């Protein structure tokens, strides 16, 4: 059935019942000539398979059946073949053409060459990968600065980041959010560079004013990081990692959903690692005590879903601190 075509349209193809894999081109537009390199005279009458890679040819029967049943267009990205034999990425839309009885008589294919779009996407991915490496390098440097000033917590940020990443993965967060959380965890104590070293390493109990100075590290960390254009809300996560869901945390007393989920995860990971590790002002309380703290206060201080994911990882021995 010859059909006229629009500019930039792809070939029109006949799809007779029971012969989809041997479908023939019955019309070829000027746009199709430009895209595929065939003239109308060369294309019309040829098998449709000359424009497709082999795996697409195998899908013809199912595609035609879907058009026959749905009576609406189908659009998908695919790979097509020019006369030269060179393949190219394309956005292909198929429209069913039915007769007066409603029977599928032919299929109209509209092809858009998306080679340039794919090239631009690859370039963006490459640039993002380069940016991510720069960001990771900067974060490692900042983490090292904190650990040099506070040797007693050397490795604390890295272990917290590792646990936070494991919990986020257990909860099914998207990969980009998991990566952002890991980076925030690796520098969540960056604000401690403003705390005098003698307080950070002081043995014995801290006074209230000294503890207030340490508590200020969340805000100072935010102040340091807010001017850096991270692809993720790193500064906000760092700012909120000591907030608690009942509003009893600091520095702003945020509660519930007002706290970023990443910050709620980071807060649980921070508590577990800190309690399980030695500090100058107290001995390690141990992992069991840390997990008991999370269990006893889930739903009160700690997000219940975050707490459950954390407890599950340790109970099933799918996470251990290095």
Task: Look at residue 114 and tell me whether its pLDDT is greater than 60.
Answer: yes
Confidence band (pLDDT; 50, 70, 90) for 2?
Answer: very low
Q: Are 48 and 60 in contact (CB under 8 A)?
A: yes
Query: What pLDDT digit, counting tens, does each position of 122-164 carry?
Result: 998 888 888 778 878 888 888 888 778 776 666 899 999 999 9
Q: Could you tell me which residue, 153 or 101, shows the higher pLDDT?
A: 101
pLDDT computed for residue 37 by the predictor: 93
Q: In what order do the strands lie in the sheet with 24-27?
A: 24-27, 12-14, 104-113, 87-98, 74-81
Q: Which residue has the higher pLDDT, 21 or 74?
A: 74
Residues pairing with 188 in the sheet = none
Q: 42-51, 262-271, 298-307: lowest mean pLDDT where?
A: 42-51
188: left (phi over 0), alpha (psi -120 to 50) or beta: alpha
**Helix%, strand%, coil% for the chain, nearest 5:** 55, 15, 30
Please tell me which residue, 83 or 54, carries the higher pLDDT value.
Answer: 83
Four-residue CA torsion sign, 137, 142, 148, 150: negative
Instruction: State the Cα–Cα distance between residues 7 and 282, nearest whole angstrom.
Output: 77
Name the more confident of 143 and 81: 81
What are the residue ranges of helices labelled H in the chain?
Answer: 30-36, 40-43, 54-57, 60-70, 115-149, 156-170, 175-186, 197-200, 208-215, 217-225, 234-240, 261-276, 287-297, 304-315
Which of 82-86, 191-195, 262-266 has the highest average model confidence (pLDDT)? 262-266
pLDDT recorded at residue 9 = 40
| Whether the Cβ atoms of residue 92 and residue 11 lie closer than 8 Å to each other | no
Asked if residue 114 lies in contact with residue 77, where contact means CB atoms within 8 angstroms, the answer is yes
On the question of pLDDT at 98 being above 70, the answer is: yes
pLDDT at 183: 93
The DSSP secondary-structure symbol of 228 reads: S
**Residue 281 CB coordination number (10 Å):** 16
Give residue 8's pLDDT band: very low, low, confident or very high (50, 70, 90).
very low
Look at residue 1 and tell me whether its pLDDT is greater than 50: no
pLDDT for res 60: 66
- Using CA atoms, how far apart are residues 23 and 25, in angstroms rounded to an integer? 7
302: DSSP letter: B
Q: Looking at the DSSP assignment, which residues form a beta bridge with residue 104?
A: 98
Alpha-helical (H) ranges within 187-286 are: 197-200, 208-215, 217-225, 234-240, 261-276
pLDDT band at 177 (very low <50, low <70, confident <90, very high): very high
Do 132 and 139 touch, CB atoms closer than 8 A?
no
Identify any residues that bridge with 92 across adjacent strands, giving them in sequence order.
76, 111
- Beta-bridged to residue 89, according to DSSP, are 79
Domains of the chain by start residue, with CATH: 12-113 (3.30.450.20), 128-315 (1.10.3210.10)
> What is the pTM (predicted TM-score) of this model?
0.64
Q: Where does residue 306 rank: exposed (0-12), middle (13-18), buried (19+ CB within 10 A)?
A: buried
Q: Round to whole Å and give the CA distance between 273 and 314.
A: 12
């Amino acid at each position: 059935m010859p059909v006229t075509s629009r500019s930039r349209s792809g070939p029109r193809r006949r799809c007779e019942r029971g012969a989809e894999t041997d479908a023939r081109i019955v019309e070829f537009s000027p746009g199709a000539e430009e895209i595929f390199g065939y003239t109308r005279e060369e294309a019309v009458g040829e098998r449709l398979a000359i424009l497709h890679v082999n795996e697409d040819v195998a899908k013809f029967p199912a595609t035609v059946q879907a058009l026959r049943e749905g009576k609406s267009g189908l659009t998908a990205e695919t790979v097509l073949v020019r006369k030269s034999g060179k393949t190219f990425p394309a956005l292909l839309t198929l429209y069913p053409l039915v007769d007066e009885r409603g029977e599928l008589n032919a299929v109209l294919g509209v092809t858009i060459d998306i080679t340039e779009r794919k090239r631009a996407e690859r370039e963006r991915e490459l640039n993002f990968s380069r940016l991510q490496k720069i960001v990771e390098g900067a974060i490692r440097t900042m983490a090292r600065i904190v650990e040099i000033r506070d040797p007693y917590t050397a490795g604390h940020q890295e272990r917290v980041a590792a646990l936070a990443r494991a919990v986020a993965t257990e909860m099914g967060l998207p990969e980009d959010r998991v990566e952002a959380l890991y980076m925030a965890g690796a520098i969540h104590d960056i604000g401690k560079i403003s705390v005098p070293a003698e307080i950070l390493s002081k043995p014995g109990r801290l006074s209230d004013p000294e503890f207030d100075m340490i508590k200020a590290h969340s805000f100072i960390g935010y102040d340091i990081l807010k001017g850096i254009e991270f692809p993720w809300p790193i500064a906000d996560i760092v700012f909120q990692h000591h907030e608690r869901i009942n509003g009893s945390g600091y520095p702003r007393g945020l509660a519930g959903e007002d706290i970023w989920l990443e910050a709620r995860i980071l807060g649980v990971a921070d508590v577990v690692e800190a309690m399980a590790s030695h500090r100058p002002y107290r001995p390690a309380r141990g992992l069991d005590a840390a997990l008991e703290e999370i269990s006893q206060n889930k739903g009160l201080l700690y997000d219940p879903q975050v707490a459950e994911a954390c407890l599950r990882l340790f109970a099933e021995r799918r996470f251990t601190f290095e």
